[in-house]
Amino acid sequence: MTKFKPRARKVKILATLGPASSDPDVLRALFRAGADAFRFNMSHGDHAMHAANFATVRALEKEFNRPIAILCDLQGPKLRVGTFAEGKAVIAHGAQFVLDDNPAPGDATRVQLPHPELFAALQAGQRLLINDGKIRLRVKQVKSGTITCVAEVGGVISDRKGVNVPDAEVPIPALTAKDRADLAFAMEQGADWIGLSFVQRPEDILEAKELMQGRAFLCAKIEKPQAIKRLHDIIEAADGVMVARGDLGVELNPEEVPPLQKKIVNATRLTGKPVIVATQMLESMIESPTPTRAEVSDVANAVYDGADVVMLSAETAAGAWPEEAVMMMDSIARQVEADDGYTARVRMLDTPSDATTADALAHACMTIGDTIALNAICVFTDSGSSARRVARERPAVPVMVLTPSMQVARRITLLWGAHPVATRDIGSFEEMIAKGKRMALRHGFGGAGARVAMLAGVPFGKSGATNLLHIVRLTGDELEEYPAGSVE
DSSP per-residue string spanning 38-90: EEEETTSS-HHHHHHHHHHHHHHHHHHT---EEEEE-----EE---BTTSEEE
Gyration radius from the chain CA atoms = 24
User: What gap in Å lies between CA 373 and CA 397, rounded to an integer?
Assistant: 9
Say which DSSP state 285 is in. G
User: What gap in Å lies between CA 427 and CA 429, rounded to an integer?
Assistant: 7
Residue 80: active-site member: yes
CB of 185 closer than 8 Å to CB of 136: no
Strand, helix or coil for residue 216: coil
Among 39, 127, 161, 437, the one annotated catalytic? 39
253: exposed, middle or buried (Cβ count in 10 Å: 0-12, 13-18, 19+): exposed
Q: In sequence order, what are the residues at sequence separation of 6 or more whose Cβ sits closer than 8 angstroms to the Cβ of residue 346?
A: 304, 305, 306, 394
Phi, then psi, of 34 in degrees rounded to 5? 140, 0
CB of 403 closer than 8 Å to CB of 478: no
Please, where are the H alpha helices in 219-356? Answer: 225-229, 231-237, 245-251, 257-269, 293-304, 314-317, 322-337, 342-346
141: exposed, middle or buried (Cβ count in 10 Å: 0-12, 13-18, 19+): exposed
Nearest to 384 by CA among 195, 232, 192: 192
Q: How many CB atoms lie within 10 A of CB 287?
A: 10
Among 279, 316, 351, 466, the one annotated catalytic? 279
Residue 343: active-site member: no
Among 80, 134, 140, 345, the one annotated catalytic? 80
Residue 279: active-site member: yes
Give kind and range of the element (H or E) at residue 244.
strand 240-244
Among 161, 221, 269, 394, the one annotated catalytic? 221
Residue 435: active-site member: no
Which residues are catalytically annotated?
Answer: 39, 80, 221, 279
